[in-house]
Chains A and B, each alone.
Chain A
């Protein structure tokens, strides 16, 4: 009896230990995950009496699950190579500055362009690389335009996560989810990508209303901005064109070829290999730049999370979540959305996603093939967007980069904007889910919000000197609360 409880207990403790080590920054995340994997190995071999084959199965998947983990690894590595070469070609900076120049120094237009660039770039790059490219560039642009970059940096940091849910290849959690649940590229985009774009639109409106009084650009800067030579980001034009074409071909092939014929990872690795050959870059340089830390981290997490599955821990979590959510599908989906968001706010979203995938698969709600994928969509959104609820994780990097470039931003400002925006975004997604499952109730909720806004607007217009002034004061107080 003790032995039956012992393994799940050790493995759960191991998982929590790895999370704590990463959270407290006591140990490098790859080393922490590998250490956890080593402990897991001993538990599985000496307590559970498995053979070494179990480790191979946990790492790469089995024939039954169609080697799901191996497909994830190949897709992640292939995307890394394509992104590395495109970055060498200066593709992302080139596109960004080209678009920024189109703003003609108009503050709101600049804010919109910065937000669009962030979402577009983070739709193909991981969040860390996106902020490493965009934040210094934003600060440089702000130096030319003679403006405070804080509103732009803060909004970019928040929107990076929205870009992460546009495509199935936009983030590691998406790759893990879509490979496991066999969700195609198009299917993911039509269900999660489009929701993300809708929420992006609402977020953009929110940001403009929030910052419109702060966004002032002194005259003259726009003219200087035009003098910024975008070709200075490009080492050679041929490489730029090659990487642009590669991205277009990749997206096109992912859309038109069903994964039952060629899986997305094979499409991506084919393009990555081809690009490496035609780019004439030194392959050794590219290979040494591949993020091995992430690969080792994933190896460790795959083994620990897989062991949690084998020893029945994920089944137990699934039972608990099902009991909380009851029989109602909508409640279960909303529960997955908010729980995954709050968990990934302080814990890295990769282990959270990896553990929650089998949990969701084991929940009764996933038995219905019509609603099964909705639970995975909910997980993808929650795990990606929850990051902004706290200024931890990737967001620390944003603050550090801003400080390195002598434009420090406070954690307090970041936390206030990130928390409020994320709650606002998750509420919109919840409303969309409510509309899908309970259309009438969802419509009542939307109409109530719309009606309240209309009444406030009419009151504002009917009596601008008294009620209007009070509403103005309230709005300004709310704005000041978030941005000051």
Chain B
């Protein structure tokens, strides 16, 4: 039932995507284990409602597993700050537009605002959007989504939480070591050897 709703009402109607694959095939609902984290105060750029949606989407993209997730890495607070120091006019418009588009997708699909949809529904929605955004890169929604995704991933993978083995000062270069030797050298460099 859900598949049909997304196919016809959301992606055909809103984004002009052509549906060609079964939906929800690749992402178990249980993957994102946290519920929606409602943000109560506005950030420097985004308002509280926008931040709520963004934090949820970022966590769906990069959930906490055996390694930190997007929330652990403070991805959206960093993004909020970057909107003032990095983002240009178009990006600011696109990110805000995407939040509205995500909300409209949720309403068209589930008859509820994005933040009122269930966790399973939100995960399903973003997962399907991700698939289609890369299948058809020319729609406005696709562009907005992919730009936001790139930034969320960039912030996450440049975070301290995502780089536990990062060495500011390696001290030397060795061009041919085994993984075990590498790990030992990193541990020694980072003072993790007892």
Q: State whether these chains interact.
A: no
